[in-house]
Amino acid sequence: MSLHRFSIVRPLLVLLIGYLLATVTGSALASENSHSALNPVTATARAAERLFPSGTRNVVLSSAADNDSIALAQALATKLSGALLLTESPHALGTATAHALRTLTIPKVTTSDTVLPFQAAAGKPHVYIVGDNKLIDTAVAEHLRSRGYQVTRLSGHGPALVRDVMQRVAPPMPSAATTAGFPDRWTVYAGNPSHNSAYRVPASAPDWEKEGVSWRFAQDAAVPLHAPFPELKIRGPRRAPVAMTQNLGEAVGVTAVNGVIYAESDDSHLYALDAKSGALLWKTSALANTLMANPIVANNLVYVAAGDTGFPFSQVLKYARSQGRAPLTRGLQYSAVYAFNATTGRLVWRHDFRGEAMPTPVYYRHTVYEATGGGRLWALDAATGKVKWKTPLHGFDSMSSANIYVNPKTHVAEILVGTTDKNHVIAVNAANGTVLWTQKTPLKIFNTGMGDNSPTVDQDRGIVVQDSVVDFDRKAHTTNLAIYAMDAQHGKILWTRKLGVGHVPPAYKAGLALIHAGIVYVGSPVTSTIYALNETNGEILWRFHIQHAGPAGAGRGNPVYAYGVLWLAAGPKLYALDPKTGRELGDYKPGGRFGIVNPVIVGGTMYLDNSYDWVQAVALKKIYPSLQIMSNNAVRAQSH
């Protein structure tokens, strides 16, 4: 924001603050039969107590004597979702402010060490002081520190203070000149049909892109990264991590476009973060349901889909009475696809559905495609959200994000999606919604089967890979994960391979595959193992067992290939593997747990999110210290 624009907005902010204070405190005054006039310090203190009755993580402190700093402090308090308080004098908080600050401490309400989302940790708020020493003396800051408060000071005055505060409140969007290595769009799950979300940066890229950065950003429902799973003692080690992934944090990975990390969360918000610093650029208000997909970005619009994992009881009853013949609709709550301006976060359009919309959409030629729990594939105009066509899938989609294949001879684009009940992969003409082929595997599919998993496409070889849990043994409570390859033009099955028997994993039971250089890399939460298979015949080349996977299993998210290394987020760790042998080259434990998360690599940084509702950037050298940046700006792994 320019200084000229701020000079115009400043008096409006001050007037707005005055109006809010009058509105918020009016009822409090009447109820307490107070007829004395409140000064701004007391009014602000009382408003803070009323607005944050259970305390807050952040308090912004400003001088009542300076309207400029009050306006800036209010903007900062809004960004931090915290309270604004005013000092009585340069040397003292004042009785009302001191009382409010004590009241804004978050109470300790349980003796256990468990945490829950949206419940901030008990303790005193972080205090931000806005203004120079003439407005608020250094003795005030020292007094607060001596009482156990963490204090951050934004000093200065005039233009310098404006720039400091606005850098925190409204940091500038990254420019093309400083983000040369990032893709300019994200049109399908994991960035491309083969699911290899890795991007080399050119020699012209800034050093931070080449060398890598590390940061953490806590989203609205974040719990401490090293805390035990919420309700671990109640749900147990098998169900507690699943509850986190489905209800608290991120189910799948992030999107990286033009220096911005876009992240959907089960806390029902879409976040846009600066890829270099992790600073929040903008955040949507709460949407209609949980968000469990990659944001799709094209033509300065961000598309997100909202849905949930539930089944209405009426659907379950209908299915049971029909002895499994009646079609099911998945989704208990509201479902929609939203389009937001990628730069500002402003809502552009929304389209509602019957049945959940958990999967990641596909963007192709100005059209957004979304498969839903209502059993249809929808084609929407990317600019307006208007329906172009809709096609029955003869089964509901659960978490199977659609993919795309373009026939090199006919140039017909196929939208590929897996469905549950009936369990099959279906190819639909992207132009008109005509079903091109349907492939139902002879394998004995279990549970939500192919409707849970997203097909992987090798555009060059014309191969589609899909997997599903099969062969459920009710007595032993075991299952297997089977993977198979199909001809992309006709759906003919080329080969199948069962990967191994293990206990039935909870919730999402499949593993997303990566195809690179004739090899299929896929994990199985049934065995908590990563497999490399020959893409031509399905022969298993090597196995890597994921340590500390826990009873919920690990290996749901697809690996990523970059710089001659296979990168993986599974269980509590990040791994670097030799793609030829599966030998572990390095690992790193950043905190939290990874569900179906696919790493995103740009230059020397891995971007990812987790079930604890955090977005993280991790320099690749933290995972694999022998990864070196050479003098010619190329990145390679040292030989051992």
**CA separation for the pair 79, 70 (Å, rounded):** 14
Identify the pLDDT of residue 117: 80
Identify the pLDDT of residue 639: 35
Rounded to 10°, the helix 159-169/67-79 angle is: 10
Contact 257, 297 (CB under 8 A): yes
Q: Rounded mean pLDDT of 235-251?
A: 83
Identify the pLDDT of residue 321: 85
Contact 586, 571 (CB under 8 A): no
Identify the pLDDT of residue 246: 79
**Which among 456, 438, 426, 588 has a CA at the least distance from the CA of 522?**
456
Contact 415, 369 (CB under 8 A): yes
**Which among 270, 256, 268 has a CA at the least distance from the CA of 198?**
256
Q: Rounded mean pLDDT of 383-389?
A: 98
pLDDT tens profile 400-448: 899 999 999 999 999 999 998 778 899 999 999 999 999 987 788 887 7
**Which among 607, 604, 591 has a CA at the least distance from the CA of 275?**
607
Q: How far is CA 149 from each of CA 59, 146, 336, 518, rounded to the nearest angstrom? A: 10, 7, 43, 57
**CA separation for the pair 258, 602 (Å, rounded):** 11
Residue 316: pLDDT band (50, 70, 90) is confident
**CA separation for the pair 440, 330 (Å, rounded):** 21
User: What does the block give as tokens for 411?
Assistant: 């140039």
Three-class SS state of 45: helix
**CA separation for the pair 286, 354 (Å, rounded):** 20
- Counting residues of the chain whose pLDDT is more than 70, the rounded percentage is 92
User: In the chain, what are the domains?
Assistant: 3-169 (no CATH), 198-637 (2.130.10.10)
Q: How far is CA 64 from each of CA 56, 86, 289, 366, 380, rounded to the nearest angstrom? A: 21, 5, 41, 53, 52
In this model, does residue 524 exceed pLDDT 80? yes
pLDDT tens profile 580-637: 999 999 999 999 999 899 999 999 999 999 999 999 999 999 999 999 755 344 444 4
In this model, does residue 147 exceed pLDDT 60? yes
Residues 6 or more apart from 519 whose CB is under 8 A from it?
Answer: 532, 533, 534, 535, 541, 579
More confidently predicted of 317 and 601: 601
**CA separation for the pair 188, 144 (Å, rounded):** 50
Residues 6 or more apart from 411 whose CB is under 8 A from it?
Answer: none
**CA separation for the pair 517, 535 (Å, rounded):** 9
**CA separation for the pair 381, 368 (Å, rounded):** 6
What is this structure's pTM? Answer: 0.91
pLDDT tens profile 71-118: 999 999 999 999 999 999 999 999 999 999 999 999 988 766 677 788
Identify the pLDDT of residue 18: 47
In this model, does residue 5 exceed pLDDT 80? no
pLDDT tens profile 453-467: 899 999 999 999 999
Residue 452: pLDDT band (50, 70, 90) is confident
Contact 337, 302 (CB under 8 A): no
Identify the pLDDT of residue 446: 81
pLDDT tens profile 10-39: 443 444 444 444 444 444 444 444 535 679
pLDDT tens profile 205-237: 999 999 999 999 999 999 888 888 888 888 888
